[in-house]
Structure 1
C-alpha cells in the first residue's frame, strides 16, 4: 500500500467512525475536515463530493467487515460451527467495531427510502451478507448438522432479525442483557434446525 493509499485508508477509518456517531447524512467534507484536522481542499482531492465520500465509507466498512467477520468465519469448520463463528463475530462487530454501533444498521435507517448510489452500496452489502449466511446454513444442511428441510434463506432472515434486535436493545434501550438475549435466541434458532433425535 502506497503512502497515499495509507493516508486515504486512515481518513476512511475516521470517516466511518464519525458516520457511526452522526449518521452518513451528517458526514460531510466539512465535518470530516474538523474531525481529522485536514483541510477541505485536501479532502476534496480524495472525495469529489459528499455522496462519493459516503459511498467510499461504506465500501471501506465492507472491507473491514470482510476482514473481521467473514474471513475468520470461512476458516472455521463447515456447518454449524461456521454459523456459530459468524454469529459470534457479527455480534462482536456490532458491539465493538464502531463507537456509534454498526454503521450498516445506522445507514440503513437513513437511506432505506433514498434512491441513489449510497442505497445501492448498502443493498449490495446486505445482499452479500445474507447470501453468505444462506450458504453457511446450506453447508450445515449438507454436513447433516441441520435437517434437509430447513429453509436456509429463512434462517438467514431470522438471524438478521436477532442481530437487529440486539443492536436496538444495546444502543437505544441500553439493555445490559442484550447480548445474552441474542445468544438465547440464536440457540433456539439452531436447535430448531437440528435433526430430531430418535428415541428407542
Structure 2
C-alpha cells in the first residue's frame, strides 16, 4: 500500500526544486535560501528543513534537479533521433527549443550559476562542473559517432566541434536575455547547421541552413 504522506512529501520536494531551479536561473544559487523559497512558495520554512537540513544540501539537490530537467527535456528527446549527424543536430535543436520556450525565466540554470561558482571550490562547484563535463562529453561522443558512421568527414575533431556547438548554444542566453536580441536563436541555429553541413559527407541528411 502506498503511503500518502510519502507521496505528498515527494510532490512537495519536487515543487520546491522546480521553483528553486527557476529562481536560480535568474538570481544564482548563493542568494537562494530556504527562507526565500518558503516565501515564494507560501509554505513554512520549518517544513523545508525536513528535506534539506542545510544550505549546501539544498544547493546540491537544486543542481541535480536542474541536471535532470536538462536530461529529460533536451537529451532524451534528441537520443530518439537516429544515431549519427542527425542526433548531434537534434541535441542543439532541442536545447534552443528549451531556451526559446521560456522554460526557465533566466534562460539557463547552468549559464547563470557557472560564473557564480567557477572560483569557489567545494561540492556545489564540483557538481555544476560535472554536469557541464557530462554535457560536453555527450556532444563530443555524438560527434565522434557521426565520424565513425561516415557522416562527418574523417579527421573531424570531435572535441573542437563540441566546443563550438556549446559556445553557440550558450551565447543565445546572453543575447536573448541581456541584449534582448530575438534573432539570436536563428543565428545560433544557422551557425551550427552551416558548420555541420560543411563537415558532413552528405549535407542532404540535414535541413537547409
TM-score after normalising by structure 2: 0.89
1:143 aligns with 2:139: no
Looking at structure 2, the residues matched to 128 and 39 of structure 1 have their Cα atoms a distance apart, in angstroms, of 36
1:170 aligns with 2:176: yes
Q: Aligned in 2, Cα 1:62/1:196: closer, same or farther, shift over 3 Å? A: closer
Looking at structure 2, the residues matched to 77 and 68 of structure 1 have their Cα atoms a distance apart, in angstroms, of 17
Deviation (angstroms), 1:191 = 2.4
Other-structure match for 1:4: 9
SS of aligned partner of 1:71: helix
Looking at structure 1, the residues matched to 84 and 167 of structure 2 have their Cα atoms a distance apart, in angstroms, of 21
Other-structure match for 1:59: 64
Deviation (angstroms), 1:143 = 1.7
Count of matched residue positions in the alignment of Structure 1 and Structure 2: 197
1:191 aligns with 2:197: yes
Deviation (angstroms), 1:192 = 3.0
Looking at structure 2, the residues matched to 109 and 86 of structure 1 have their Cα atoms a distance apart, in angstroms, of 23
Deviation (angstroms), 1:185 = 1.1
Looking at structure 2, the residues matched to 146 and 173 of structure 1 have their Cα atoms a distance apart, in angstroms, of 34
Looking at structure 2, the residues matched to 71 and 184 of structure 1 have their Cα atoms a distance apart, in angstroms, of 23
| Deviation per residue, 1:45-77 (Å, 9 max, x gap) | 111112211111110011111111111111101
TM-score after normalising by structure 1: 0.93
Other-structure match for 1:69: 74
SS of aligned partner of 2:50: helix
Structure 1 unaligned segments of length 5 or more: list them. Answer: none
